[in-house]
Amino acid sequence: MTAARAYLDWNASAPLLPEARSAMVAAFECVGNPSSVHAEGRRARGIVETARAQIARLVGARPEQVILTSGATEANATVLAGEWHALFVSAMEHDSILAGASASPARSSALDAGADGVVKLASVGRAAEAVANRTDRQLVCLQLANNETGVIQPVAEAVALARQARMHVLCDATQAVGRLEVDFAALGVDYMTFSSHKIGGPKGAGALVVRDDAPLNPLIGGGGQERRQRAGTENVAAIAGFGAAAEAACQRLADWRALASRRDALEARLREVAPDAVILGAASSRLPNTSLVAWPGRRAETLLAMLDLGGVAVSSGAACASGKVTESHVLRAMGCAPDVAGSAIRISIGPETSDREIEMLVAAFEAINRRPARAA
Ligand code: PMP
């Protein structure tokens, strides 16, 4: 018998929903290529288009605005590979945005963050003023919710500022979609990106939602798939799973909303058993499922390893590459002291998280707290 585990790393990847699994299993039976005109091809096309409509509905977009990709990373890279003259990028963006910005020949400037984990709107305002009279293409990158802290960013307000200067806006909504109500049309952004596996779909599928008049240069050329915006035969089964997860997510928003009080109770328990622990970003509006807990005097990688041995899966602030935790650029942007940033672990739950899993976490914290800080 395998030992019980507590999976508290939903921001890294959420468990596959049964609806997504069934849709994928059914799609595996479909032999056709969606680009083929025969009955088998049309069946595959039907699966892709049903999923596209489900994904569009989840974010308040029209199906024809949705380009299916291999994930948020590819979607972000596609937008950033466009012909931009200047980029204004929140300092707390995901690495896929930061990497795309540094690969771009465009001049890139950082939008500052406050200690509360919220981007400073004044820095967006300054960017808009600086480019107000320019006619070339400018892009602002601002995520909807941060993957480490869960802090929700003022995207609608940033869009209002950016519009005055005719700047385009890319919103990485990967951590927000399915967890908060997200409305592409109401938010007014030009581009929105997200990944299937954060909402209970399979890994390796995602979407780029594009406003009708926004410029886009395809990253991958070849066949005419995705209205010539993204070549390559569609991953029909993954797309089917993504669509089914999106449909289920529409029904699960209330369950996600209800998670906030469980998350608050969990944080209160952790503070009880580990009085030195600090919750980062707690004064700001956050995703209902995310707690970034710093434990000054301890090391995140040691805490991760001890929790893992105790059966609890969490992650460090930033996803750690092959077990090595690097300093989090998000916490650096928030001005966190190195002993705070270096001790931060991210706990992220979901509607199926059980009380038993939370108790395992609390018990593991209690056990670690009994050890001298040096040892953990
Ligand atoms: N943006 C954000 C905010 C994310 O959290 C992630 C995944 N951690 C990504 C983009 C990239 O998603 P994927 O790895 O599925 O391409």
157-189, pLDDT tens digit by residue? 999 999 999 999 999 999 999 999 999 999 999
pLDDT confidence of 293, banded at 50, 70, 90?
Answer: very high
Ligand 1 atom at shortest distance from the alpha carbon of 197: 15
Q: What is the per-residue pLDDT for 4?
A: 93
- Please determine, for residue 319, whether its predicted confidence score (pLDDT) is greater than 60: no
Q: What is the per-residue pLDDT for 1?
A: 54
The answer to whether residue 171 is catalytic is no
97, 175, 208: residue to mutate for ligand 1 pocket, most atoms within 8 A of CB: 175
- Please determine, for residue 248, whether its predicted confidence score (pLDDT) is greater than 80: yes
Q: Name the closest-CA residue to atom 14, ligand 1.
A: 73
Predicted TM-score (pTM) of the model is 0.96
Q: Look up tokens 């750690």; give the residue.
A: 320
Which among 30, 141, 250, 320 is annotated as catalytic? 320
Please give the average per-residue pLDDT across 27-54, as a whole number.
98
**DSSP letter assigned to residue 374:** G
Measured in whole angstroms, how far is the alpha carbon of residue 100 from the centre of its chain? 16
List Cβ neighbours of 328 (8 Å cut-off, separation of 6 or more): 148, 316, 317, 318, 341, 344
Classify 139 as helix, strand or coil. Answer: strand
**DSSP letter assigned to residue 320:** P
116-158, pLDDT tens digit by residue? 999 999 999 999 999 988 889 999 999 999 999 999 999 999 9
Strands (E), 57-106: 66-69, 86-90
